[in-house]
Amino acid sequence: MSINWDLVVQLGWPIVLLFIGALLNHLLEKRERIVAYLSHVSSFRLETNAPDAEPIWVYTHSVVVRNSGRKAATNVRLGHNVLPNVNVTPDIQYEMRELPSGGKEIVIPNLVPKKEITISYLYYPPTTWNQINTHLETDEGPIKVVRVMPQIQAPTWVLRCIWALIIIGVISLAYAAVELVQRVAT
């Protein structure tokens, strides 16, 4: 079986242009890319030295907000049903706003590109982590929330090899489909 190089070029050229266009778009477009991570939820049992005293439970969780884009995000808003003790790290300018529904909102006026902040919460029972946060958004729209699970990261060369094999597979399937259509048509 001989390879029809004209067909390979006709099929491959649009695919190559698609990837070049996507790469140029990624490199040249300046926009914010905000992602929020719910990094941990934990509880602590604090023992007291007083005799016959009940232990005190303390809960904590963190939300990490990252701007991985090339444009500063304006008015990053984190809504809360209840706002317990909060610590924002690193120390940046933010403000607390009252919401009409009775909740509160942390507003970060400007989150520069490649910046990551951590908002840590400390609270007591009966409040739990899922009763605290409500919305996460910027002036551009909602923030994507990712629940983080610790895992081993594959090396970059492995990921590149996998993507190369996927691309080769897609091109091969497209070539086989066109060949099949041509054989059926003749």
Same domain? 52 vs 10:
no
Element (H, E) at 23: helix 5-28
Whether pLDDT at 90 is above 80:
yes
Phi/psi for 105 (5° steps) reads: -135, 135
Query: For residue 177, what pLDDT is reported?
Result: 86
Tally of domains within the chain? 2
141 is written with which tokens? Answer: 């729209």
Same domain? 94 vs 157:
no
Same domain? 86 vs 170:
no
Can you give the pTM of this predicted structure?
0.65
The closest alpha carbon to 76, from 64, 62, 61, 60, belongs to 64
Same domain? 170 vs 81:
no
163 Cβ contact partners less than 8 Å away, ≥ 6 residues apart: none
Same domain? 134 vs 165:
no
Question: Which residues span the domain enclosing 57?
Answer: 34-147
CA distances (Å), origin 64, targets 22, 48, 121:
28, 32, 11
Residue-wise pLDDT for 112-169, tens only, equals 888 999 999 998 888 877 788 888 888 888 888 887 667 788 899 999 999 999 999 9
Same domain? 66 vs 136:
yes
Report d(CA 88, CA 83) in Å as an integer: 13
Report d(CA 137, CA 127) in Å as an integer: 23
Same domain? 49 vs 115:
yes
CATH classification at residue 117:
2.60.40
Report d(CA 17, CA 158) in Å as an integer: 24
Same domain? 85 vs 122:
yes
More confident residue, 26 or 117: 117
Same domain? 140 vs 157:
no
Same domain? 80 vs 133:
yes
Same domain? 126 vs 162:
no
Residue corresponding to tokens 């006026």: 109
- Torsion over CA of 17, 19, 24 and 25, rounded to 10 degrees? 110
Whether pLDDT at 32 is above 80:
no
Same domain? 9 vs 65:
no
Whether pLDDT at 1 is above 70:
no
